């Protein structure tokens, strides 16, 4: 563990201007309304199985690791219907790539990207909206999908993002697509970062191997409002300049900022203009996936591959604040895919290989470390003083937050879970590789 200078007094005593409280019958974006995995819902189920406490289970066509979103009694999720490419096409696409890349990639001949409506009460499928048809797509990592970014729901508009394959908005009442936009990018392993909506601007992370920038689109028209290039990288290998992190918009004092981790740099931007506000050089990490978490003027960011670390930094700076605004860093079992969870001055995270860690945010010291078992991609969520960790084997381990590790329940359903769960009033929504579940009473 490495300690840095302590945060400025001003950052610690300034007034926070955001709250995690939100309507318990909605879930409009990745990790909920505040983007932090914290739910105010009550009577959230504790125990279930494939045969017990399942209100409904609905098969979902295709493959997608995006989380569903919920509003007005309707769930929406994206999926990719693929036609497998021939071995000859695969060999041609992966020609010249490292052997490791060839062994961990998969390729589709064509992809249909679509959104599916599911009734929250009954599980019945409603509208199905075709969004993009892709011929000759790029390869993706075998653990990824062509529909991994979680959409954003605002009123009767759903904003869907598929990375280089397209971004769009459609009317959930009529199913009419209002606009489409394409921002070509070389992901190398497929799309990953989810969009964020703030005051009429749709914010996108566009950190590819060929170019790295962030941008804001007009939510009404899809036209580009602003585009800001990322800072220069030391590493000239484009594969180590890419990233997949979802932005987090926070307000501290009088300033609102979109915090967007990337390869080498963590940066904050004005969400309406794209002006860079501050940057921190976190080293040579890349392919960042976890979404940041924020509390009391401090943001906590995971640095990505190849030596993942957790960094705590004050958000009140200007320019390059690497030497002045980093409070502490730690490298023990930091995740590269699941986002951390921050609750009452303790930060909880699970590594990709299933090691859960509790960290004291005051000093970065480890409170406890325990093995949950299995591999993890989904981010944890909390409701009613219970933290839910979902692994890729369909298991959900529920623990009690605190300075002592205590397991409350272990649950299992069929299939693979890589999508982050929704914790709602009296229910949990889980997405597997084949189905959507509503856990709870019918």
List pLDDT tens digits, range 39-54. Answer: 999 999 999 999 999 9
Under 8 Å between Cβ of 49 and 116: no
pLDDT of residue 24: 66
The whole-number average pLDDT for the span 316-328 is 96
Q: Global pTM?
A: 0.94
The whole-number average pLDDT for the span 167-195 is 97
Q: What angle is formed at CA 313 by the lines to CA 307 and CA 318, rounded to 5 degrees? A: 120
Phi, psi of 179 (to 5 degrees): -160, 155
Under 8 Å between Cβ of 286 and 240: yes
Q: Of 38-52, 91-105, 116-130, 173-187, which range is least confident?
A: 91-105
Phi, psi of 105 (to 5 degrees): -110, 155
Asked if pLDDT for residue 135 goes beyond 80, the answer is: yes
Neighbours of 22 (CB within 10 A): 16
Under 8 Å between Cβ of 95 and 52: no
C-alpha–C-alpha distance, residues 194 and 392, integer Å: 20
Asked if pLDDT for residue 149 goes beyond 60, the answer is: yes
C-alpha–C-alpha distance, residues 75 and 158, integer Å: 11
**Judging by beta carbons within 10 Å of its beta carbon (0-12, 13-18, 19+), is residue 171 exposed, middle or buried?**
middle
Q: Of 4-13, 85-94, 156-165, 178-187, which range is least confident?
A: 4-13
pLDDT of residue 8: 41
Could you tell me the pLDDT band of residue 104, with boundaries at 50, 70 and 90?
confident
pLDDT of residue 23: 57
Report the mean per-residue pLDDT for the chain. 93
> N- to C-terminal Cα distance for the chain?
48
pLDDT of residue 336: 95
**pLDDT tens readout for residues 404-440:** 999 999 999 999 999 999 999 999 999 999 999 999 9
Structural domains in the chain, CATH included, are 2-439 (2.130.10.10)
Helix (H/G/I), strand (E/B), else coil: 160 = strand
The token duo for 67 is 């989380």
Of all residues in the chain, the percent with pLDDT exceeding 90 is: 89
**pLDDT tens readout for residues 350-381:** 999 999 999 999 999 999 999 999 999 999 99
pLDDT of residue 95: 84
Which DSSP category does 164 fall into? G
The whole-number average pLDDT for the span 274-297 is 97
pLDDT of residue 427: 98
The whole-number average pLDDT for the span 225-240 is 96
C-alpha–C-alpha distance, residues 385 and 212, integer Å: 39
pLDDT of residue 99: 80
Under 8 Å between Cβ of 347 and 364: no
Cα 276 to chain centroid distance, Å, stands at 22
Asked if pLDDT for residue 11 goes beyond 70, the answer is: no
Under 8 Å between Cβ of 418 and 406: no
| C-alpha distances out from residue 277 to 59, 164, 185, 245, 298, Å | 45, 27, 25, 18, 15
Write the Ramachandran bin of 43: left for phi over 0, alpha for psi from -120 to 50, otherwise beta.
left
Asked if pLDDT for residue 343 goes beyond 80, the answer is: yes
The token duo for 313 is 């930094």
């Amino acid at each position: 563990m490495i300690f840095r200078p302590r945060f400025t007094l001003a950052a610690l005593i300034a007034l926070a201007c955001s709250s995690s409280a939100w309507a318990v019958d909605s879930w409009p974006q990745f990790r909920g309304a505040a983007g932090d995995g914290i739910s105010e819902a009550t009577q959230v189920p504790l125990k279930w199985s494939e045969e017990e406490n399942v209100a409904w289970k609905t098969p979902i066509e295709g493959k997608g690791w995006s989380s569903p979103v919920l509003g007005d009694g309707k769930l929406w999720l994206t999926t990719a219907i693929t036609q497998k490419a021939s071995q000859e096409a695969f060999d041609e696409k992966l020609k010249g790539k490292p052997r490791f890349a060839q062994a961990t990639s998969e390729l589709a001949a064509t992809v249909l990207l679509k959104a599916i409506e599911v009734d929250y009460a009954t599980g019945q499928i409603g509208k199905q909206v075709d969004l993009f048809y892709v011929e000759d797509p790029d390869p993706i990592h075998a653990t990824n999908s062509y529909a991994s970014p979680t959409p954003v729901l605002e009123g009767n508009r759903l904003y869907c993002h598929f990375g280089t394959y397209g971004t769009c908005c459609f009317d959930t009442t009529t199913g009419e697509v209002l606009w489409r936009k394409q921002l070509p990018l070389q992901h190398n392993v497929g799309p990953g970062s989810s969009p964020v909506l703030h005051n009429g601007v749709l914010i996108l992370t566009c950190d590819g191997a060929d170019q790295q920038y962030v941008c804001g689109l007009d939510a009404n028209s899809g036209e580009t409002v602003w585009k800001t290039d990322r800072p220069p990288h030391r590493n000239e290998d484009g594969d180590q300049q890419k990233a997949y992190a979802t932005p987090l918009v926070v307000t501290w004092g009088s300033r609102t900022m979109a915090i967007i981790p990337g390869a080498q740099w963590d940066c904050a931007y004005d969400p309406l203009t794209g002006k860079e506000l501050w940057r921190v050089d976190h080293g040579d990490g890349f392919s960042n996936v976890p979404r940041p978490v924020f509390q009391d003027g401090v943001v906590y960011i995971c640095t990505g591959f190849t030596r993942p670390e957790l960094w705590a930094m004050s958000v009140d700076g200007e320019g390059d604040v690497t030497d002045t605004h980093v409070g502490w860093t730690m490298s023990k079992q930091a995740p590269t895919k699941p986002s951390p969870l921050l609750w009452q001055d303790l930060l909880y995270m699970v590594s990709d290989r299933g090691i859960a860690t509790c960290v004291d945010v005051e000093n970065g010291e480890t409170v406890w470390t325990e093995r949950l078992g299995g591999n993890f991609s989904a981010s944890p969520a909390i409701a009613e003083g219970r933290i839910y960790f979902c692994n890729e084997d369909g298991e959900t381990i529920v623990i009690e937050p605190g300075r002592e590790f205590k397991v409350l329940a272990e649950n299992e359903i069929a299939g693979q879970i890589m999508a982050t769960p929704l914790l709602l009033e009296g229910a949990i929504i889980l997405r597997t590789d084949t189905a959507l579940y509503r856990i709870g009473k019918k």
